[in-house]
């Protein structure tokens, strides 16, 4: 399974990414963690991107894509499966990643989309900022990041939907329930990726199940 995640800041990609990677025994490539590690270690790359991260802005594509290419080469050597968290964040990145995937034989075959509303995302991120003392989790930066996500990242969802590889999950509930929904959806889709052409697949959308069955969503928890 060659999987990527699309989600706004605070939707729980870190928590759910670790769950997915552990469940399916696949490498987790988290570009945000890689970048923050470079910043913490004061590497040349870290110094180049620190100001962008502190302002809630996107890191230049060439830096991110070079990191992704190296990580995909390592994943290919380890068996060919991976979970990518953090890119693409723009349609240009998505297209560039598709080209890289073609060159390496590592094109994503599932795009997981986590959905949550802005008020809940701001609450979660402010709580995380207090707990972890992260400089990129002030309210001003959070709202800038969410605005950027809606304008440049959300359009990618439709592109993956047209390709037939999209799985949508409601990320508003407790992390444990969201995780169960994700694993159920991925287990259902996994058998199709090697045998059913993308153009014959349909988006799996679990975001309306609670409403459809008359269940109220439980109080959300802050993701890790």
The first and second tokens of residue 119, run together, are: 């008020």
Domain that holds residue 191: 2-210
Residue range 168-187: average pLDDT? 93
Asked whether residue 150 is domain-assigned, the answer is yes
Asked whether residue 102 is domain-assigned, the answer is yes
57 versus 90: the higher-pLDDT residue is 90
The yes-or-no verdict on residue 195 having pLDDT over 60 is no
Under the phi-then-psi rule, with left for phi > 0, alpha for psi from -120 to 50, and beta for the rest, what region is 183?
alpha
Asked whether residue 153 is domain-assigned, the answer is yes
Find the helix packing angle between 91-104 and 154-163, rounded to 10°: 40
Read off the pLDDT band of 101 (50, 70, 90).
very high
> How far is residue 102 from each of residues 20, 33, 69, 71, measured CA to CA in Å?
24, 25, 11, 15
Bridge-based pairing of strands 82-85 and 204-205 is unpaired
Asked whether residue 7 is domain-assigned, the answer is yes
> How far is residue 162 from each of residues 14, 89, 121, measured CA to CA in Å?
26, 17, 27
Q: For 149-197, where are the alpha helices, taking DSSP H only?
A: 154-163, 175-189
The yes-or-no verdict on residue 212 having pLDDT over 60 is no
106 versus 66: the higher-pLDDT residue is 106
Q: Quote the percentage of the chain above a pLDDT of 70.
A: 86
The alpha-carbon radius of gyration of the chain (Å, integer) is 17
What was the pLDDT predicted at 86? Answer: 85
DSSP, collapsed to helix, strand or coil, labels residue 184 as: helix
74 versus 132: the higher-pLDDT residue is 74
DSSP H or E run through 115 = strand 110-115
What was the pLDDT predicted at 205? Answer: 74
Read off the pLDDT band of 224 (50, 70, 90).
very low
Is the preceding peptide bond at 101 cis, omega within 30 degrees of 0?
no
Asked whether residue 217 is domain-assigned, the answer is no
DSSP, collapsed to helix, strand or coil, labels residue 114 as: strand
Asked whether residue 136 is domain-assigned, the answer is yes
The yes-or-no verdict on residue 215 having pLDDT over 60 is no
The yes-or-no verdict on residue 40 having pLDDT over 90 is no
Asked whether residue 37 is domain-assigned, the answer is yes
Q: How far apart are CA 96 and CA 90, in angstroms?
A: 10
Number of domains in the chain: 1
Asked whether residue 224 is domain-assigned, the answer is no
What was the pLDDT predicted at 23? Answer: 96
Helix then strand count (H, E) for the chain reads 10, 6
Residue range 178-200: average pLDDT? 79
Q: How far apart are CA 10 and CA 145, in angstroms?
A: 10
Least confident of 34-38, 40-44, 55-59: 55-59
Q: Can you give the CATH number for the domain in which 146 is found?
A: 3.40.50.300
């Amino acid at each position: 399974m060659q999987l990527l995640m699309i989600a706004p800041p605070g939707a729980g990609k870190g928590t759910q990414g670790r769950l997915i990677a552990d469940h399916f025994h696949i490498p987790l490539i988290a570009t945000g963690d890689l970048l923050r590690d470079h910043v913490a270690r004061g590497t040349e790359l870290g110094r180049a991107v620190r100001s962008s991260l502190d302002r809630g802005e996107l890191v230049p594509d060439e830096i991110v894509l070079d990191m992704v290419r190296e990580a995909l080469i390592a994943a290919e050597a380890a068996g060919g499966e991976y979970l990518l968290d953090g890119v693409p964040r723009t349609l240009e990145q998505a297209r560039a990643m598709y080209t890289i995937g073609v060159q390496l034989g590592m094109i994503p075959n599932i795009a997981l989309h986590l959905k949550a509303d802005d008020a809940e995302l701001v609450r979660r991120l402010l709580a995380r900022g207090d707990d972890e003392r992260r400089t990129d989790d002030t309210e001003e930066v959070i709202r800038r990041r969410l605005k950027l996500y809606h304008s440049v990242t959300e359009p990618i969802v439709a592109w993956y939907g047209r390709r037939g590889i999209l799985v949508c999950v409601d990320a508003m509930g407790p992390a444990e329930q969201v995780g169960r929904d994700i694993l159920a959806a991925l287990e259902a889709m996994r058998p199709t990726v090697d045998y059913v052409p993308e153009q014959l697949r349909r988006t799996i959308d679990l975001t309306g199940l609670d409403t459809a069955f008359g269940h109220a969503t439980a109080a959300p928890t802050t993701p890790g």
